A and B are shown apart, each in its own frame.
Chain A
Amino acid sequence: MNTKAKDTEGSENRGVSGCDLKSVLSKIKLPLEIRIHGRGGQGGVTCAKLCALVYSRLGLFAQTFGDYGMERAGAPIRAYTRIDGNPIKNRNKIYTPGHLLILDPSLLESGALVGAPHGSMVLLNTPDRLSSFHGFCEEFRFAIVNATQIARKHGIGASSVVIVNTAFVGAYARVVSLPIEMVRETYSSLGLLNDFAAAQEAYDAVNIREAITPVRFPDEAPDSVPGSPVEVIPLTELTQDMPTPLKTGSWRTQAPKYVTLTPPCNYACPAGNDVVGFIQKFHNFGLEASSEILLATQPLPSVCGRVCPAPCMESCNRALYDGAVNIRGLERWIGDHASNYPIPVKASANPKTVAIIGGGPAGISAAYFLARAGHKVDILDNQAKLGGVLRNGIPAYRLPEDVLDRDLERLEALGVSHRPHELITPLRLKQIALEYHAVIVATGQAESIIPRLAGVDLPGVEQGLTFLNRVKSKGRENIRGTVAVIGGGNTALDCAGTTLRCGADKVVIVYRRGQTEMPAIKEEIRDILVEGVELVLCRQPVRIIGDKAVTGLEVAEVELGDPDESGRKRPLVTNNLSVISCDHVLIAVGQTANRGILPSDWVVTKQRVYAGEEPTNVWLAGDFSAAEGTVAHAIGSGRKIAMDVMNCLSDSTESCVGNSSSIPELVSADNINLFCFPRREILEDIHLDVSTRTHSFEEVNLGILSGEESRRCLSCGNCAHCDACLIYCPEGIITRSGQDYLINLDYCKGCGICVYECPRHAMEMSLKS
């Protein structure tokens, strides 16, 4: 056994600067016996020693020793200090302490108070308030201090094993009216001055309550506390298993717990997809289970899995490690491969009728969620088929129509009815609002922006969307010569790709800013360049040249200035002109919503229509109300509005997923133990060979070859049942039953290994209450 006990007996008076020794001395009742109860690692024995050293500065004799057991950090220990004016001859342990110093409140239950005579002083380290000790220890002069908090704040010891002794002695000095200066001098002589600030804080923070019940001493004090003899099993007769009865949970100062935090991908998804949820489900339970999660937020997984710019992937914690998880590819894989099973419809107790104006992604989304909730939904659209921009705008080589149709089958199965060729006017809209319980206007941005540019009326100049729509509905056209496409968004790219497929000899995209500023999906830009389209960047078109037909596009050089409010560099047009000779110009500089369909007396506030002060039963959704520009945003918006509508119609308080306005705690890459995840190559999408793709409208991107990519998901902030906590727990007290882990806190010593080792930050440590 370890015997570090040191007697520090006898001492000379070293003198205490600035203190009236006599008055201090006169207050001490000698001989004084101090008993310290602590836990291994808190510094209880040193605490006893420090007390002795402080008193010895007064010229008193002191004796101090620890009661060494075989326990380790966290186990109860005792230490003793005797103070007297004469040499100390008593070498017994202390049974009737005049001062009791208790370093851990849980020790109160294990006999720390035994033997203390009435009127003794008890100093307790506790996070509780004095008021919570009402009716407790009233026969003692009772003081409390939160030394653990103070020591932790001053960084003394480790997070799970806080060394409280130096702070605690500061509190002790206050309780027994020893000048804090003496503590400072003692610490100084021991090279412990770094801890003095904690002692000073504890000195100031201690709370004292005088003894309340009448003090009757010393006749009450027992002479000693020997136990009655216990029958001891002979060594030759012990044959049974007697498991240790110790509950080591009482040693703990902090406890682990499981948490679920928001992964950045989930937060980034405009549609509100539970990205980690569907990927983990896929990884562990397969396609159908995963599809169920995906379809809970996403009516068009196959579509989004193709055309979404995937902000989730940009935010993926794996991005800077070995590349973002191909979330879009997975979404597509699941959307394409899961069975188109009938979506369960929740029978609504109070079904309503809802008209949705516009069959684009926002309208589809709103319809989908309303129908799932049991409402009767009609989509009124000016086209023959549902899909809006998905059907008319996006070329087939990016989004084949059958893919869209398959996604839409679910909508049909939900009983959503489609009313095609509806021409919406303000008057008609007002009528509709009277016919239905609610109306959602989601007509998107159907109007192309026409730039004020000389020569826009020349033959050979056309709006990009018109062109795309025509090719989509009527088929391939023959185009010869050079095509210049104005714009930097996806429509511009789609125009370029489509003209190329129509036989153009050369296609250039003219954009006024740099490539990084292009709003189009990065992968799409990459693809179009591979196909042979040229980018003419930092050029502002100023004039379309031509007599009877287009012969060229005059452009001005643009310098990039300071970033504007969107964060993109502001283009500054110079006088440096040049001409791009071309035979066709397609304009794709953006679209806008046709607000003209809204009656003029409707006022829109926060996507809801008001008649005067009164809210009406009309909402706006998708790009029509806020131009966010992606299908995913439109889907998210559609769902949000659908939820709002349902809330208003049913007075239910069911909140919309992802509707929370507060920013949740996100798991950053720093929170992830990336070393737990071997670097693994991204499973990239497969693309059609360049030479074949430019000659047909076959889908270019063929997606991923398997769902294997799901294993790359880190499941940030979401327990993935990897068992790391269980495997590394030194006590072996973490158990798993199915999908749940259980920590047996009776034994948890609070070491924190499980939390540190959790690869994905699905555990946290909390202080013991």
Chain B
Amino acid sequence: MITGNHAAATAAVLAGRANRSGRGFCSGVYPITPSTECMEFLCLQDIEKGHVVKVESEHSAMAVCIGASVSGARSFTTTAGNGLIYMAENVMVAAFLRLPVVMVVGNRAVGPPWNIWTDHSDSLALRDSGWIQIYCGNNQEVFDAVLIAFRIAEDHRVLMPVMVCQEGFVLSHTMALTEIADQTQVDQFLPQLNLPHRLAQTPRVVGSFTSSRMIEAHREQHHNAMRMAWDVYTEAQTDFEKTFDRRPPDPVVTYRTEDAELVLVSMGTIAETVNRVVDNLRDRGLRIGSVRVTMFRPFPFDALKKAFTGISRIAVIDRDISLGFGGVLWGEVRSLAQPGMVVQNYVSGLGGGDVRPEHVEQMVKDALERKTTGPSIFVGVGE
């Protein structure tokens, strides 16, 4: 029985140790609710050929990871909410330098108003930062995702950082039975990191200036590598299953979408609630299903397209808001809408608001009734 934070930290420690035959593990960390316990746990572990630097800010925490990673070490950090936003500049740098850093974000509302509870707005604000983003649904997924994140990040076809998102408190502070792997298994799953562009002794500038046409080429290469991540993820899933005897979730997880008239699309733990509602309402004869997006970047177009086959109504539940637009997830999903399809957005659960089955039922009711897509609807506000 461990919390999401401890699951994440434990996985990070195992992964870090697994690189002891390589160039080791080095991490920069800084406390912030709700990720503090993850960093604390990490700091208290004895990691062979590893070091955790307790820096003076999130910005520096990521900078340490950049320095460590560019030197060929495995690197990990964790933060949340405003911490992530403060870190943002270096978050992007890690990606644009194509460094395989793994970060666990304990999703938290970005203040003010100050609020320490969960919300996807922090990590989604960094949607375009060049990181792979995985949104977890439970503690086990958090543990597994950290391991698999290193695997994808360090794959030479990918080589970019991965953000593992767990909802603050909902996962980070909730204890649940979690299967922990042993070191030999992790050693087997995560071979030593061999960074091709490691900064060693050869004179070379990492992160130098480029002309306009050259930066386009580098962005294109980065973009193409993102698209490789699906294949690499699939391979990793299989390998993971072989090693640990359980399979991490697909980039898109469907639940009872067959013959559905309406699917509810969500990320993170809300999907569990949605699934419960699906079961209830299916019992009452409503043809509804649930789709959970676990990998938000690269965005799983194909898997979602497949999941939406034959469906005419989509309800997208966003635990985030792009002000002046609507839910971020909704925006992405809507790009897959076929003509005549209703793709309605429901914003709920910001700042840790509990998204209960009643809220989801409200959404289902509205989604089934409406003729056209309307503006985003806030559900549960002010209760």
Contacts and interface: CB of A to CB of B under 8 A. Distances in A.
A499 B336 CA distance: 124
B130 to A, nearest CB: 11
Given A232-B217, A236-B156, 13 more contacts: A70-B209, A232-B214, A232-B218, A232-B221, A234-B98, A234-B221, A235-B197, A237-B197, A238-B197, A239-B196, A239-B202, A240-B202, A241-B204
A227 B213 CA distance: 10
A236 B204 contact: no
Contact of A241 (B96, B98, B202, B218): B202
Tell me which of B98, B202, B214, B217 has the highest count of chain A C-beta atoms within 10 A of its own C-beta: B217
Contacts of A240: 202, 204
A229 to B, nearest CB: 8
Interface string A202-238: 0000000000000000000000000100101011111
A398 B11 CA distance: 97
Nearest to A244: B205
B218 A235 contact: yes
Contacts of A230: 213
Contacts of B315: none
Contacts of B98: 234-236
B337 to A, nearest CB: 35
The range of chain B's interface size is 10 to 19
Interface of A: 70, 227, 230, 232, 234-243
Query: Which one of A70, A236, A238 has the greatest number of beta carbons of chain B within 10 Å?
Result: A236
A242 B218 CA distance: 18
B214 A239 contact: no
Contacts of A227: 213
Given A241-B202, A241-B203, A236 B196 contact: yes
Contacts of A232: 214, 217-218, 221
Nearest to A226: B213
B40 to A, nearest CB: 34
| Most-contacted residue by chain A among B156, B196, B209 (CB, 10 A) | B196
B97 interface: yes
B217 A239 contact: no
B223 to A, nearest CB: 12
Contacts of B96: 235
B159 interface: yes
A240 B204 CA distance: 7
Contacts of B218: 232, 234-235
User: 4 tightest CB-CB pairs across the interface, nearest first?
Assistant: A232-B217, A241-B203, A234-B221, A236-B197
A243 B98 CA distance: 22
Interface string B197-212: 1000011100001000
A240 B200 CA distance: 11
A653 B213 CA distance: 67
B338 to A, nearest CB: 36
B318 to A, nearest CB: 33
B221 A238 contact: no
A236 B158 CA distance: 10
A238 B70 CA distance: 13
11 contacts: A227-B213, A230-B213, A232-B214, A232-B221, A234-B221, A236-B197, A238-B204, A239-B202, A240-B202, A241-B204, A243-B203
Contacts of A242: 204
Given A232-B217, A234-B218, A234-B221, A239 B204 contact: yes
Nearest to A235: B98
Contacts of B197: 235-239
Contact of A235 (B97, B203, B209): B97
Contacts of B159: 236
Interface in B181-233: 196-197, 202-204, 209, 213-214, 217-218, 221
A240 B156 CA distance: 18
B336 to A, nearest CB: 30
Nearest to B157: A236
Contacts of B221: 232, 234-235
A243 B218 CA distance: 20
A64 B213 CA distance: 23
A270 B100 CA distance: 79
B334 to A, nearest CB: 33
B314 to A, nearest CB: 37
Nearest to B160: A236
Nearest to B210: A232
A230 B213 CA distance: 9
Nearest to A231: B217
A211 B97 CA distance: 52
Residue among A227, A239, A242 with most chain B CB within 10 A: A239
